[in-house]
Amino acid sequence: MYLKNLKLKNFRNYKDENIDFVNGINLFVGNNAQGKTNIIEAIYLCAIGKSYRTIKDMEVINFNSNVCNLDINYLKEDSESNIKININDLNKKEIIKNDIKIKKLSDHIGEILIVTFSPDSLDIVKGSPSKRRSFVDMICCQLSKSYLILHQEYMKCLKLKNALLKKDVIDKEYMYILNEKMSDYIVKIVDFRRKTIDKILNKAIDIEKKLTDNLENINIKYISDFLDKDREEVKKYLNEHLYIDILRKSSVKGIQRDDIEIYINDLDVSKYGSQGQKRTALLTLKLANFEVLKEEMEETPILLLDDIMSELDSDRINFLLKYIEKYQSIITTTDASFVNNVDNIQILKVLNGTLEK
Ligand SMILES: Nc1ncnc2c1ncn2[C@@H]1O[C@H](COP(=O)(O)OP(=O)(O)OP(=O)(O)O)[C@@H](O)[C@H]1O
Ligand SMILES: [Mg+2]
């Protein structure tokens, strides 16, 4: 699939702008604070239905306006589709696909497949477990709407359980019922995460070898308390830990504690990897993410690369450019000097919320 064009009206620092994309590399060049990341954010919003920069939708509305509109056309399976997003200053958001209003976010996700990569992505390798969980969950959700729904249902139960654990009097019978319900979700979520991580690893092994001239082997281990447990065993485990939940006034066990460990040549890269090895591992993970989505969904995802070229050395930049030249990517940068001998590229200059070729 690929994006054809995007109209932004009163979105962040854009008043009224139209971008026609090429089915290749779309490079946005500009100084700091001109509106490069805002374009990435707009595409992300169209694809996922919410921003990754804010939980308050209305923050994306231009300071001088009270509504903003995004309008994106894309080609998927040879037919053209359209998504419109309208947000107003009462924080109301409408998502409209081909003139039909989308009722639930879960109906929308996966419609436009994306892989994002920014300097913050390095947190996947060296940040807290939640960053790695989000990385895995984002892929799982794009692969399966049912996964997203399972995850949402689980999180609802967790929220309720945590709220009840804060009370002075605990209704244990009700806790057992909640644990039983959560066990159901846990078994399914863990199974899907495990399969997805296996798929990522499968692709990553090859990519890491190519990136490092066979010098480095990557391994990814899924860490979870529930790996080999069936529904009954999960329920028993949760119930056995209820007294600690009560003492701590919060759920201590659950898939909200899962993690992945990333190894390069048998060493945990978060603990022992050099800066370069961490960046290489991340690039490998992102390209593996791309490959998994492409293969499973039988569609090519769109690569959103925000300001990462300055983070990579010339070997890795060349590897990446070679890799992505067949696909559509949206790349932002302050310095376009890495571009030479690249075909199929469109370069747009970003200056204070306006674009020019
Ligand atoms: N709701 C809004 N209305 C108007 N302008 C906004 C709004 N939100 C953010 N901006 C402005 O948009 C500008 C550009 O932001 P953006 O993050 O896209 O910059 P950038 O080109 O990616 O810069 P950098 O190279 O520093 O990452 C900022 O100066 C910011 O103040
Ligand atoms: Mg930026």
Query: What gap in Å lies between CA 139 and CA 151, rounded to an integer?
Result: 13
Last residue of a domain, one of 249, 264, 298: 298
The 3-class SS string of 319-346 reads HHHHHHCCCCEEEEECCHHHCCCCCCEE
- Determine if ligand 1 sits within 6 Å of the CB of residue 334: yes
pLDDT beyond 90 at 350 = yes
The stretch 176-181 carries a mean pLDDT of 98
Can you tell me which residue has the tokens 């895995």?
A: 136
Same domain, 31 and 138: no
- Determine if ligand 1 sits within 6 Å of the CB of residue 9: no
204 vs 107, which has greater pLDDT? 204
State residue 105's pLDDT score.
Answer: 87
Q: Answer yes or no: are the C-beta atoms of 90 and 282 closer than 8 Å.
A: no
State residue 341's pLDDT score.
Answer: 78
pLDDT beyond 90 at 287 = yes
Domain for residue 214, yes or no? yes
Q: What is the pLDDT of residues 98-133, one digit of tens each?
A: 999 999 988 898 899 999 999 999 999 999 999 999
pLDDT beyond 90 at 8 = yes
Domain for residue 121, yes or no? no
Q: How far is the CA of 310 from the centre of ligand 2 (A)?
A: 12
Domain for residue 50, yes or no? yes
Q: Answer yes or no: are the C-beta atoms of 32 and 334 closer than 8 Å.
A: yes
- Determine if ligand 1 sits within 6 Å of the CB of residue 329: no
State residue 244's pLDDT score.
Answer: 97
Can you tell me which residue has the tokens 């281990």?
A: 221
Domain for residue 238, yes or no? yes
Q: Which two tokens stand for residue 34?
A: 């001109």
pLDDT beyond 90 at 282 = yes
CATH classification at residue 283:
1.20.1050.90
State residue 311's pLDDT score.
Answer: 86
Domain for residue 120, yes or no? no
Q: How many other C-beta atoms can be found within 10 angstroms of the C-beta atom of residue 80?
A: 10
Q: How far is the CA of 60 from the centre of ligand 1 (A)?
A: 10
Q: Which two tokens stand for residue 320?
A: 């990446």
Same domain, 174 and 138: yes
Last residue of a domain, one of 298, 326, 346: 298
Same domain, 339 and 252: no
- Determine if ligand 1 sits within 6 Å of the CB of residue 167: no
State residue 295's pLDDT score.
Answer: 97
Same domain, 108 and 164: no
Measured from the Cα of 59, ligand 1's closest atom is 1
State residue 51's pLDDT score.
Answer: 94
Same domain, 35 and 89: yes
State residue 343's pLDDT score.
Answer: 83
For the chain, how many structural domains are there in total?
2
Name the strand (E) or helix (H) holding 200.
helix 172-211
Lowest mean pLDDT among 93-102, 120-129, 159-168, 307-316: 307-316
Q: Answer yes or no: are the C-beta atoms of 89 and 95 closer than 8 Å.
A: no
Same domain, 37 and 162: no
Same domain, 97 and 148: no
Domain for residue 245, yes or no? yes
Q: How far is the CA of 37 from the centre of ligand 2 (A)?
A: 4
Domain for residue 118, yes or no? no
- Determine if ligand 1 sits within 6 Å of the CB of residue 64: no
Query: What gap in Å lies between CA 6 and CA 44, rounded to an integer?
Result: 12
Beta bridge partner(s), residue 262? 220
- Determine if ligand 1 sits within 6 Å of the CB of residue 346: no
Domain for residue 80, yes or no? yes
Q: Answer yes or no: are the C-beta atoms of 90 and 24 closer than 8 Å.
A: no
Q: Which two tokens stand for residue 59?
A: 């923050």
State residue 100's pLDDT score.
Answer: 96
Same domain, 178 and 327: no
Last residue of a domain, one of 298, 317, 344: 298
CATH classification at residue 318:
3.40.50.300
Protein residue with least CA distance to atom 2, ligand 1: 12
Same domain, 106 and 168: no
Same domain, 14 and 99: yes
Query: What gap in Å lies between CA 178 and CA 334, rounded to an integer?
Result: 51
Lowest mean pLDDT among 62-76, 226-240, 336-350: 336-350
Domain that holds residue 44: 1-113+299-357
Share the mean pLDDT of the chain.
96
pLDDT beyond 90 at 296 = yes
State residue 338's pLDDT score.
Answer: 86
Same domain, 88 and 226: no
Ligand with smallest separation from the Cα of 39: 1
Same domain, 252 and 351: no
State residue 310's pLDDT score.
Answer: 86
